[in-house]
Each structure stands twice: as C-alpha cells, then as structure tokens.
A and B are shown apart, each in its own frame.
Chain A
Amino acid sequence: MTRILLMGNPNVGKSALFSRLTGVQAIVSNYPGTTISYTRGHMKLGEEIAEVIDVPGTYTLEPTSEAEEIALRLLDSGDIVINVANAINLERNLYLTLQLLERGIPMVMALNLWDDTRHRGVDIDLEKLRELLGVPVIPTVAVTGEGIKELVENIPRATSPHHPPGTRDQRWATIGKIIEQVQRISHRHHTWRERLADASVKPLSGGLIALAILAGSFFIIRFIGEGLINYVLDPLFNTLWSPVVLKLSQLMGGGGFLHDLVIGKIIGGELNFVESFGLLTSGLYVPLGVVLPYIVAFYLVLGILEDTGYLPRLAVLMDTIMHRLGLHGYAIIPNLLGLGCNVPAILATRILESKRERFIAATLISIAVPCAALQAMIFGLVGARGLGYVAIVYGTLFIVWIILGIILNHTVKGFSPELLIEIPPYRLPPWRTVAQKLWIRTYGFLAEAIPIILGAILVINVLYILGVFDAIANFTAPVVTGLLGLPKEAVTALVIGFLRKDVALGMLAPLALTSGQLVVGSVVLAMLFPCIATFVVMFRELGWVNMLKAVGVMIVAALVTGGILNLIL
C-alpha cells in the first residue's frame, strides 16, 4: 500500500489537512506541538487505497525534540510526502522542503493558510514556485476545505526532482533566490488582532490579559459544569432513573450480595447515588452525573483557548516562573492539559527538549495537577462543605506544585534549555474543530472511564465482602490515622485511587468525615499514586527507573503534605 506522509513545520495545519483527506478526526489546535505522536488514516487514491500519516511538525530533519525524532523516523517509511507549508512564512518553511527534496522522496507541496496571504499582504507567484522547486504546489485552506480536491488530484503527480545535498548556508542561499523570484510583500497596517497579540506578551497588559482569561475560564467552566449538573443530569437521575432503580431494588428483595453489587446500599428507602456504591447507582452517576459535565465544560474552554492561539502567549508570560521549577514557559501547556487528564498531559511533555525537563514536568503533573474527573468530585463533595475548603485543596496543590518544582530543579542533574517557540497569530476558533475536539475528548473519556469505573465498583464490592479492606485498613492504620488523622477505612479510597480517582473520592463520602478530614483526604488522594492509566504512560515515556523515582517522590510528598495539613486544619 502506498504510504503518504504529511510533513511540515509545526502549526501549519497538517492535522486539519489530515482530517480533510482521510475523514479521521484528529485533534487540531493553534499552537506548535499539538501532534506529538502520529495518527494514521486511509484515503482513496484513484482505484487504490493509500495510507496517510499525520507526522508531528518539525522545522528541520536535524531533530531537537522527541516529537521531531518521531518525524524523522517516519520519513524512511514513506512513499510520498505532502509537504505542508505556511504560505505566510514561505522562507522558513522552504528549509524543510529543501531537506526533504535532497532525500529524493516524491513530493507535492500544499501551501496552506492560503486565505491569510491576502490580508497579510503576501503575494506568491505559484507558477514560478512550481518551476523552481520542480514539484506540484497547491494552495489550500485546510480548515475550510479549499484546494483539497486539487491536492488529491495532484498526489499521483508527486515528483522527486534532483536537488543535491547542501550545507546550511547553501540551503539558505537557495531559499533567498527562490523567495526573491516568487514572493512580494506589501506593507499592511496592524489589525486589531495584531495589536491584541502584541499586548498579550507585554509585561503589564499581558499579565492583566492572562488573569482575565484564566479567571474567565474558571468561571465559565464552573458555570457550564454546575449548570449541566443542576438543570440536566441531576433532574434526569432523580426523576427518571431513581424510580427505576428503587423498583429494581424491590424486585431483588432489597438486600443480599447481588443486590448490593448492582444497586448498592439503600439507607431508609433513600437512594444516595454517590454513597450507595452499586453498579447501576454510583457506577453510572459518578461518570455521567458528576464527572461528565465538568469534562464537557473543561474541554470546551480548553479547545477554544487552544484554537485562538493564546496558550503560547501564556508560555511567554510564565517563562520566568517556570524556570524556577526547572522548566521553561512552554511546559505550562502540558500542565494545563493535565487539568483535563494526566495521560495526554504526560504525552505532551514530548514537546520539551530534554529528558530532565520531561521527568520534572511528568512528576509535577502526576503529583500536583488534579485531573478533571477528580476535580469534579472535589467540587461535588468538598464544595458541599463550602467553597473555602475547595480553595484550600487547590491552594495546597498549587503550593506543592511550586515547592516540589523548586526542589526537583535543585536536585535533578542537568540544566534547563531556554524557551524558543513560534507564537501563532490570534485566530477566531473554527467552531467545527472546537466541536470535533470536544467530541473526540468526551468520547475518549466515556469509552475509557466507564468500563474502569464499573470494574472498580465491582472490585470494591468483592474486596469489601472478602474482608480484604479490613485487613489493609488495620495494617495501614498507623499512617492513615496517626499521620493523616483520617479514619482507618479511608485507606480503601487511597487503594482504589489507583484505578480511578473519581470513584476513590466518592468512597470518602460515606465515612462521615469532618470538613478538615475531607480536605486532607482529597489532597492526599490527588497526590498519592496516579491512576493506572497515568502509571502506564509514565512507564512508557520515562522508563521504569525514572517512573519509580517519580513514585518515590510522590509517596513522600503526599504523606508530608497530608501530615502538615492534618496539623493545621
């Protein structure tokens, strides 16, 4: 089968083009480094089916990060390259084009973001460019689909004209000559978007914009999340699902092992969806009634932030602070992704240049960045005791994030590279990609979380009946009760946290904890062991030695923080 590679600089729209060509939905955003692994899809090429690969963006074939190394490895396996280039900035994009041509792989060029050329005052002579490069050049606008048909028609015409390998200076000289002949720039006045872009990276205005955006995001997420819970999901569960479950409970005799497994405990004829711990009660209510609303709200806001192009600007503002944590500003993006789910966040650390940065970032994320599922439960359970307690949980995790980062920066050998990133122009989010991303991520949550949540509830019920939890509780009582000041049964939640953090926090609900104990429990649960999915991804990305180191740091940090909180509260 013919294998077609989509290659180009970061943030030129490869993933958008990939979705157009294959119909496979890929996450598209407006910042360099969205695609850190490759996605595979298929398209019809005449009578034949060809494989298309969305390769992570790279500036050169001399890799400077893990994502770029992946791009280089994939190159050897391809038959045809679609070189996706940014029409606004042809000079720099041609450097990779020349390197690819030197390799002699058949190529078609997609000159993407073509619609931007008009208002940016860039005029490109396509005929001349085709002639000088010796390959088909097709102007495209991947987000709207403009030029895709022509691109597809031209794939079979991919050519590999002879370009002798050159040195760096020779390549730039060649590019200079090409640009001179094909590109005309006319001066344009600053648009309001460009003015806003400048203001976003100036110290004072940038700081104010960042505060406004982060505070706005927080309130919108909470507004949507609580709105969905109070006006959609709670009414659905209480008026429609509750009678069904109670009826079923009666049919099953109101008790016994099977009843408790399916329905859970019903106390005084009242159904408590969080505390009952049956498959049809907590098993459905936790993922759908509590977590899902916040997943939707969080990923909607994140998607919009990603597509406007704001995130790299936040990276610039955060750079000085992040250097204290042994990272540079761009590491703020994986950390923000971690507020949704730690798994893609740890994968996203691939955009960082050194192993040291990746270790520090992954460790910080897995310890101090709570995922959306856990946060939804924190809002639900801790929020019921007053938002002040929620603030204590977040404040503690933030302080841990800072202090742990400073400690890691001073103890992990090596140094941190400097920030060097391209900042994309502001764009209005294309609603199609926002909606598509929200769907991919929400579906991903449902498909992964629900089976594990149901499995976790099954395991909890079985272990409970077998008395395993009592044994563990007695064994760990000195730490859990002595150090953390929690009832010894709380250890069951910490154990289940290994499977799912949201279910685990739900297990603290029936224990009649004081508000202080609930805060300690939430913080320790957030910090101690990441869930199994995060464990797996840490093992794959860091290797087992570094993963064990991270786990060591985690256990010490969680117990110390929990102990201190217990003393204060």
Chain B
Amino acid sequence: MITLAQLKSGQSSTVVDIQGGRRMADRLNALGIIPGKKITKTSAMLMRGPVTINVDRVEVAIGFGMANKVIVRPDRVP
C-alpha cells in the first residue's frame, strides 16, 4: 500500500485509509473520498503541488500534504 501522492498518474486504486486529523477526514468525506472508494489519479503538479483524482466521474484536486495522508491500494494492471 502506498500514499496517493506516491501513486502514478493514470493509475486506478482503492482508498484504504485516511490518516490525519478529523477535520481532514471531514473535508474528504464531504467529497465522497472515503475508505473503499475507487479513485484514479489524473495528474500531479511538480514541486509538491496538488494531485488531481477522478472520483465517481468528478475531478477533485487535493493538496500534496493531504494526498500524502490518503493511503491507497493500487489496482493490478491487467
């Protein structure tokens, strides 16, 4: 398992855990990013910039620090 920040762009994965405070979990929950959810990483900006993911057909941008606390299990590449 790796963090969302480490996940490669274009790869799909399943959220396993959200580390970090309650406030962060609240904000991610509001956008439907919860353990068990399938997400695909679209892109990442350079220099610890935000990570963009696709969750249920919606693009969401997540700051690098936060992306580092979202633990995901990458899907096996067929």
**Which of A197, A315, A320 has the largest number of chain B CB atoms within 10 A?**
A320
Question: In the complex, A16→B30 CA distance in Å?
Answer: 23
B76 at the interface (CB under 8 A from A): no
Question: In the complex, A108→B67 CA distance in Å?
Answer: 36
Beta-carbon contact of A60 and B29 below 8 Å: yes
A91 at the interface (CB under 8 A from B): yes
**B42, B61, B62: which contacts A312 (Cβ < 8 A)?**
B61
Beta-carbon contact of B58 and A203 below 8 Å: no
Beta-carbon contact of A419 and B30 below 8 Å: no
Closest-CB distance, A355 to chain B (whole angstroms): 14
| Residues from 312 to 335 in A contacting B, C-beta threshold 8 Å | 312, 315-317, 319-320, 328-329
Question: In the complex, A476→B46 CA distance in Å?
Answer: 49
A198 at the interface (CB under 8 A from B): yes
Closest-CB distance, B47 to chain A (whole angstroms): 5
Q: Contacts A60-B29, A201-B45: A423 and B56 contacting too (C-beta < 8 A)? A: no
B77 at the interface (CB under 8 A from A): no
Report B-chain residues with C-beta under 8 Å of the C-beta of A185. 57
Closest-CB distance, B4 to chain A (whole angstroms): 12
A387 at the interface (CB under 8 A from B): no
Question: In the complex, A203→B51 CA distance in Å?
Answer: 11
Closest-CB distance, A313 to chain B (whole angstroms): 8
A418 at the interface (CB under 8 A from B): yes
A62 at the interface (CB under 8 A from B): yes
Q: Contacts A320-B48, A419-B62, A421-B61: A198 and B42 contacting too (C-beta < 8 A)? A: yes
Question: In the complex, A524→B48 CA distance in Å?
Answer: 36
Hey, which bits of chain B sit against chain A, CB under 8 A? 23-24, 26-32, 34, 42-50, 52, 55-66
Sample (15) of A-B pairs whose CB atoms are under 8 Å apart = A62-B30, A89-B32, A89-B58, A185-B57, A201-B45, A201-B52, A201-B59, A206-B45, A316-B61, A319-B50, A319-B63, A418-B24, A418-B66, A419-B61, A423-B52
Hey, which bits of chain A sit against chain B, CB under 8 A? 59-60, 62, 64, 88-89, 91-92, 95, 120, 122, 168, 172, 185, 197-198, 201-203, 206, 312, 315-317, 319-320, 328-329, 417-425
